[in-house]
Amino acid sequence: MHSMQALAKPSRFLFFLILLFGGLYFARTVLVPVIIGGLLAMLFLPLSNRLEKKGVSRAWAAFLCIVCLLALIAGIGGLLAWQSSELTRDLSGVEDRISEWVGQLKEFIRHTVGIEPQQQQKLIQQQQASGGGQVSRIVMAILDSLLAVAVDTVLVLVYLFLLLYFRNHLRSFVLQMVSTDKQPETRKILQESSEVAQQYLAGLAAMITALWVLYGIGFSIVGVKHAIFLAILCGLLEMIPFIGNLTGTALAILVTMAQGGDTNTILGILVVYGVVQFTQTYIIEPLVVGNEVSINPLFTILVIVVGEAVWGIPGMILALPMLGIIKVICDHVEPLRPYGFLIGKVGSENETSLGKKLKQILHIG
């Protein structure tokens, strides 16, 4: 009987986790746009407050925040389109290079397996003929994905407007959910949660901008074609933790190889990647991101893996700021403080010594 009681609490906790992650998984199409809109609303909250203090109505202030967001997206998209237009001029050379690789692969198969290139071509044609329906299904899946992204984008903008406009109403609702003596602490939780999201997203934007500059300079020095386009791509992919920087560098290497880049250029890209990653880890992140999301490395990796499993790439992007907000809540709610301590960093790990010295020199923080 005693053993059954001892197992009851862990079993309830395990059942709660199953329900939680199962609910998050099946509700991802609803929750992802809402959470993205909420984080963006926290980011644009200072701008909205500033506009309202100057006499702009709340509705117009929220609308102007959306205009600023769309202008930023349009600017980045226009820059990428301008650079990609130059990239398309070299497509003929890229096609020739790919054709050369295909020929080399066919020769390798002929020497290794003994299948002649003509027979290989027939097998490819037979596979294409039998997979005609599959190609159409792939095209339809791509169109469905693009339509879903468009719908989610509209929803995010709508949520951003409504959350900015009704923020006082939502805050009052949260305060009414707690007793009067706990309302000051609840206000503090709401304020610090908003600051965590603002500082993390603003720091991430500053870091991406710095990476654009570093990658652009590095790729230009080693002689990479379309260095600006690849630098912007590598910087944007940094939003995806861990795999983003590797993916961007791999794409830069593949494009360079397809354009006939030599071994020295490929090695140069790898050197640039190493230097940028060192600079990002020990200089940029301590200066512009800092300790806004004070999560220890174990739970940083764990939450990103769980975020990818539950919500895919959006989950990886949203995982850290969401866990930072959860930590703020845990730190201010007495029964949850052990969990806040568990996922947080210890004092000596909060910042690298190099980051501390740079902040002291630059009088930051």
**pLDDT, tens only, 329-356:** 888 888 888 888 888 876 544 445 555 5
CA–CA separation, 223 vs 91, rounded Å?
Answer: 18
Highest mean pLDDT (candidates 9-18, 119-128, 303-312, 342-351): 303-312
Q: Considering only residues 256 and 132, tell me which one the structure prediction assigns the higher pLDDT.
A: 256
Q: What is the pTM of this model?
A: 0.78
Q: Considering only residues 190 and 119, tell me which one the structure prediction assigns the higher pLDDT.
A: 190
- Token pair belonging to 250: 């791999």
Residue boundaries of the structural domains of the chain: 36-292, 294-364
DSSP one-letter code for 283: I
**Is residue 100 predicted with pLDDT exceeding 70?**
no
Lowest mean per-residue pLDDT among 175-189, 245-259, 270-284, 288-302: 288-302
pLDDT of residue 364: 47
With residue 341 as reference, give the H or E element that holds it.
helix 337-343
Q: Considering only residues 162 and 122, tell me which one the structure prediction assigns the higher pLDDT.
A: 162
**Is residue 183 predicted with pLDDT exceeding 50?**
yes
pLDDT tier at 362, thresholds 50, 70, 90: very low
Cα separation values, 226 from 84, 221, 259, Å = 8, 12, 11
Scanning 89-131, the segments in alpha helix (DSSP H) are 91-112, 117-130
Cα separation values, 83 from 70, 203, 220, Å = 20, 26, 14
Q: Considering only residues 352 and 207, tell me which one the structure prediction assigns the higher pLDDT.
A: 207
Cα separation values, 53 from 61, 67, 69, Å = 10, 19, 20
**Among candidates 250, 232, 234, 346, which has minimal Cα distance to 294?**
346
On whether the CB atoms of residues 40 and 200 are closer than 8 A, the answer is no
pLDDT tier at 134, thresholds 50, 70, 90: low
Lowest mean per-residue pLDDT among 18-22, 151-155, 256-260, 278-282: 256-260
Q: What is the mean pLDDT of residues 161-178?
A: 92
Tell me the per-residue pLDDT of 7-61, one tens digit each, with 9 for 90 and over: 666 677 778 878 888 888 898 889 999 999 999 999 999 999 999 999 999 999 9
Average per-residue pLDDT for the chain? 79
pLDDT of residue 299: 85
Contacts of 200 (CB under 8 A, 6+ apart): 289, 292, 293, 320, 321, 324
Phi/psi for 203 (5° steps) reads -65, -40
Lowest mean per-residue pLDDT among 66-75, 96-105, 188-197, 325-334: 96-105
Q: Considering only residues 308 and 119, tell me which one the structure prediction assigns the higher pLDDT.
A: 308
**Is residue 109 predicted with pLDDT exceeding 50?**
yes
pLDDT of residue 250: 84
Q: What is the mean pLDDT of residues 321-328?
A: 88
User: Which residue bears the tokens 């203090």?
Assistant: 53
CA–CA separation, 143 vs 151, rounded Å?
Answer: 12
Q: Considering only residues 1 and 30, tell me which one the structure prediction assigns the higher pLDDT.
A: 30
267: helix, strand or coil: helix
pLDDT of residue 127: 59
DSSP one-letter code for 350: S
Phi/psi for 295 (5° steps) reads -115, 135
pLDDT of residue 348: 45
Tell me the per-residue pLDDT of 137-168, one tens digit each, with 9 for 90 and over: 666 667 777 788 888 999 999 999 999 999 99
